[in-house]
């Protein structure tokens, strides 16, 4: 038994914004690429999910009169280790948006895609394991998404995050304004929410034009 507040290192009366900031900091520290472990990474993710679910459901944080204590939430499996669960990802190729005249900020984007006659490589779903980057998850399930450097130094592998969150421990190229709008690098971006919706192949966008590398022997254009 472990408290999600302790995992995120916040007080039990912390507001939503404080919890969000703490989560973003802790998920970076726990990331395997930054010296953390997969188990710690998953524990941080589950702690945030637990508190986020409580907020979405309108649950109030524990008080002295509560029958249950929010500090006594079981975030581990029967063996005492953090559960490792794959992330469900729904994806859409940006070229489809270009062909159909759809917009990235269209709230019905994925509903439209589900009703269109699209190939499974253009719109579909996949599971990404906790030790896989988003790009690795796609590749390991037979999808050929664009990439180049694989080191966070170009935007050839960029995706647009419609729903969910991706941890981006190494980013040497993406400006803050584009990151704030939802652009992420799939080569070293690790999903940290249970579900994701992403538009991949967005390197064709004008705002990313100066951030991509020319095609090379290991680049899928």
- Where b means 16+ CB within 10 Å and e means fewer, 123-155 reads bbebebebebbbbbbbbeeebebbbbbbebbbb
**Count of domains for the chain:** 2
- Side-chain half-sphere exposure of 147, counting CA atoms within 13 A: 19
Q: Which of 25-39, 104-118, 184-198 has the highest mean pLDDT?
A: 104-118
Positive or negative torsion for Cα 192, 151, 202, 135: negative
User: Is 129 in the same domain as 200?
Assistant: yes
User: Is 114 in the same domain as 191?
Assistant: yes
Is 217 a member of any domain? no
CA 177 to chain centre: 18
Is 220 a member of any domain? no
Condensed to tens digits (0 to 9), the pLDDT of residues 131-143 reads 789 999 999 999 9
Q: What is the value of pTM for the model shown? A: 0.69
User: Is 63 in the same domain as 113?
Assistant: no
Domain span at residue 21 reads 1-83
- Here the CATH number for the domain that contains residue 71 is 1.10.287.110
Residue 91 has pLDDT above 80, yes or no: yes
- Here the CATH number for the domain that contains residue 144 is 3.10.20.30
Rounded Cα–Cα distance for residues 38 and 201 (Å) = 28
pLDDT of residue 141: 96
Last residue of a domain, one of 83, 101, 130: 83
């Amino acid at each position: 038994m472990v408290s999600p507040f302790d995992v995120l290192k916040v007080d039990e009366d912390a507001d939503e914004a404080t919890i969000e900031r703490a989560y973003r900091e802790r998920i970076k520290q726990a990331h395997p690429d930054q010296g953390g472990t997969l188990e710690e990474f998953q524990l941080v993710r589950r702690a945030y999910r637990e508190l986020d679910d409580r907020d979405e459901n309108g649950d109030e944080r524990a008080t002295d009169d509560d029958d249950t204590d929010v500090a006594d939430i079981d975030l581990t499996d029967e063996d005492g280790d953090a559960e490792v669960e794959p992330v469900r990802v729904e994806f859409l190729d940006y070229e489809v948006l270009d062909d159909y005249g759809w917009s990235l900020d269209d709230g019905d984007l994925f509903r439209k895609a589900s009703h269109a006659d699209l190939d499974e490589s253009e719109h579909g779903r996949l599971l990404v394991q906790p030790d896989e980057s988003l790009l690795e998850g796609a590749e390991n399930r037979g999808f050929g998404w664009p990439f180049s450097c694989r080191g966070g130094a170009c935007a050839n592998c960029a995706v647009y995050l419609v729903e969910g969150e991706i941890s981006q421990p190494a980013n040497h190229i993406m400006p803050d304004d584009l990151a704030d709008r939802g652009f992420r690098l799939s080569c070293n971006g690790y999903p940290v929410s249970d579900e994701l919706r992403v538009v991949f192949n967005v390197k064709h966008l004008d705002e990313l034009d100066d951030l991509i590398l020319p095609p090379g022997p290991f680049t899928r254009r």
